[in-house]
Chains A and B, each alone.
Chain A
Amino acid sequence: MAKDATRNLRETFEPLTSGVFKNNATFRLVLGTCPTLAVTTSAINGLSMGLATTFVLVCSNAIVSLLRNFIPRKVRIPAYILVIATFSTLVQMIMRKWLPDLYDSLGLFLSLVVVNCILLARAESFASLNPVLPSVLDGIGIGLGFAFSLTLLGMIREFLGAGALFGYEFTALVEAGLPMTIFILPAGGFLVYGFMMVIYNAAVKAVENALKKRAENKNNDNDGVPKNKNGEQIPLILEPETGADAIEALNREGGDA
């Protein structure tokens, strides 16, 4: 009973964790590349773009999931875009009022959240098929994964390109002329994105392999009976030490020698 509850809980929260790491929108699914390259010239831009997208993603996933039985199949895409556009306009209005500098800095890309393929992809492939809670968790997971990637890229590009982090300038680096402007330019964006994709995928693969190995070992250790990776018992073949032992064993089982 408790085991079932734990499994259900794990299944419910699975979209949250997989969205951040296993299905990371930027490094694994390679979605939303345009804003990724355009706004990651600084860490704060990356973080705010990521959080804005997360907000829109969570809200639109929730609404699409709520309306999944109400929206006719033929007009589902215009309906999803209408929902996404509403929330991205909301974010714009809020940022313009309370975060005008960020609003100016993100510029056109804030409006373009509405056509970010991550949003439409999650609405179509997940939210329209699942209940509200998993859809919201999926939105949070994918959104945080996107925000994490954008912030990371922004930090690397800002540090290498401008000798600063979150707007804080490392004067010694700048005076020494170490920052390389190319990292703030589009070419540098592609370079950093490519390298990060390689590193991230290698790291995720290594972690997945390690987890698989640990799970196999755990299965083998659980009841002392060795099991393969599918959890099936591996048959044990016990070889009798001598011919006499074998005859004795067969006699015990009532077989013929």
Chain B
Amino acid sequence: MKKVNVSKESVRIVVCLGVIALVASLLLAVVNLFTQVDEAAELRKAIGEFYAEAEIASEVDLKDFENTDGTEVLNVFVAEDGAYIVLTHVAKADKVGYNAEGVSMLVIIKDDEIVKLSGYSHSETPGLGANAFKDKHLDQYIGLTTDRFDVSEGEQIVAPDDGYFTPVKVTSATYTTNAVFLAVKASVRAYVILTGGM
């Protein structure tokens, strides 16, 4: 049998990198114990702060729910006052160029009317894309009824003059404005489907 010749230096290299990697993993594991984010609890806390009018009564099971292209309804909660709290994520706001990916919106719909909405998470540039999440832009959605949205269409952004709502876009944040609109539209669609309207 041939004897394998292992140099002292090779052993030293393996030991050195092995020890550093081991200590690093242990350190990260310990820190992870304390910094682990419970996303469900964080979401409920955020909703509690955002919609203080009523407590969450139940969460809707979305196992059989079919999303439209480019959007995903992540969670739907029903509040004690009957309001639907919908969290929708937009993966793609347009097919070309900058897509405003990763926008998540929290939309509250009660009695077929949008009563509140807010950007839940995004990584848009402050002063630019982030302007689309300011109240003065989001306020245009408040009070709109669900029939102002063409929920049969997927990710298409409806053209004006067809009776449906078209948002006023934020200057130099067109894709983000589209992402916000798609999130609201997908939330309305989820509400309509879950309440048996479609």
Contacts and interface: CB of A to CB of B under 8 A. Distances in A.
Nearest to A106: B123
A72 B20 CA distance: 12
A79 B17 contact: yes
Q: Which of B16, B36, B42 has the most CB of A within 10 A?
A: B16
B35 A71 contact: no
A110 B37 CA distance: 17
Contacts, number: 81
Interface string A42-67: 10110000000000000000000001
A12 interface: no
B24 interface: yes
A80 to B, nearest CB: 10
Contact of A71 (B16, B27, B42, B125): B16
A75 interface: yes
Interface string B72-85: 00000000000000
A185 interface: yes
B32 interface: yes
Interface string A159-180: 0011110010000000000010
B24 A70 contact: no
A90 B126 contact: no
Interface in A60-101: 67, 70-72, 74-75, 78-79, 82-83, 85-86, 89-90, 93-94, 96-98, 100
A201 to B, nearest CB: 28
B13 interface: yes
Contacts of A74: 9, 13
A44 to B, nearest CB: 8
A79 B20 contact: yes
Given A72-B12, A104-B122, A162 B35 contact: no
Contacts of B24: 82-83, 85-86
B28 A181 contact: no
Contact of B31 (A41, A71, A94, A179): A94
A107 interface: yes
A94 B34 CA distance: 9
Interface string A181-202: 1001100000000000000000
Contacts of A181: 127-128, 171-172
B162 to A, nearest CB: 31
A83 B20 contact: yes
B21 interface: yes
B127 A164 contact: yes
Nearest to B28: A89
A248 B28 CA distance: 87
A41 B13 contact: no
A180 to B, nearest CB: 11
A173 B197 CA distance: 47
B121 interface: yes
Given A86-B24, A181-B172, A96 B35 contact: yes
A138 interface: no
Contacts of B32: 93
Most A CB contacts (10 A, CB to CB) among B122, B126, B172 go to: B126
B20 A105 contact: no
B10 to A, nearest CB: 9
Interface string B107-123: 00000000000000111
B128 to A, nearest CB: 5
Contacts of B123: 104-105, 107
Contacts of B9: 72, 74
A97 B172 CA distance: 32
Nearest to A93: B35
A97 B121 contact: no
Given A86-B24, A104-B121, A181-B172, A79 B128 contact: no
Contact of B126 (A96, A100, A158): A158
B127 A179 contact: yes
Contacts of A44: 126
B127 A158 contact: yes
Contact of A79 (B16, B37, B126): B16
Interface of B: 9, 12-13, 16-17, 20-21, 24, 27-28, 31-32, 34-37, 42, 121-123, 125-128, 171-172
